[in-house]
Amino acid sequence: GAVVSQHPSWVICKSGTSVKIECRSLDFQATTMFWYRQFPKQSLMLMATSNEGSKATYEQGVEKDKFLINHASLTLSTLTVTSAHPEDSSFYICSASPAGIKYSYTFGSGTRLTVV
């Protein structure tokens, strides 16, 4: 089955630094990947849609300069949290959909970001 690998699974960084999170589709190509943010026992909030070879589209209220998304290949999307602050601490999850298969979403295992 379709597998999405997300790395790192957890990261601790200092305020003001940047952190990069990778999302890879291991056995399929994904023209579109999605980035979510999840608070403990709460919903997944869609942050942005990552499109291979073009700019990401961000949801309302999400700062595109803070959350930089790059989708340079059909198997890799990255989310960089720039100038991180403690309020950016959260669980970030990516999702990918195999090209050509409608409405099939596979999720990564998530990244726990803690900004100190």
Partner 1 sequence: AQRVTQPEKLLSVFKGAPVELKCNYSYSGSPELFWYVQYSRQRLQLLLRHISRESIKGFTADLNKGETSFHLKKPFAQEEDSAMYYCALISQGGKLIFGQGTELSVKP
Q: How many residues bind partner 1 (CB under 8 A)?
A: 16
Which residues does 44 contact at the CB level (< 8 Å), separation at least 6?
36, 37, 38, 93
Which of the stretches 21-29, 37-45, 64-72, 76-84 binds partner 1 when contact is defined by CB under 8 A?
37-45
Using CA atoms, how far residue 75 sits from 12, 52, 53, 102, in Å, is 26, 9, 12, 17
- Should residue 34 be labelled a site residue for partner 1 when binding is judged by CB under 8 A? yes
Residue 25 interacts with partner 1 (CB under 8 A): yes or no: no
**Distance separating the N- and C-terminal Cα atoms of the chain:** 37
Minimum distance, C-beta of residue 25 to partner 1, in the bound complex (Å) = 14
Question: Is residue 28 close enough to count as binding partner 1 by CB under 8 A?
Answer: no
User: In the range 50-109, which residues lie near partner 1 by CB under 8 A?
Assistant: 93, 95, 103, 105, 107-109
Q: How far apart are CA 59 and CA 72, in angstroms?
A: 20
Which positions touch partner 1 (CB under 8 A)? 32, 34, 41-44, 46, 49, 93, 95, 103, 105, 107-110
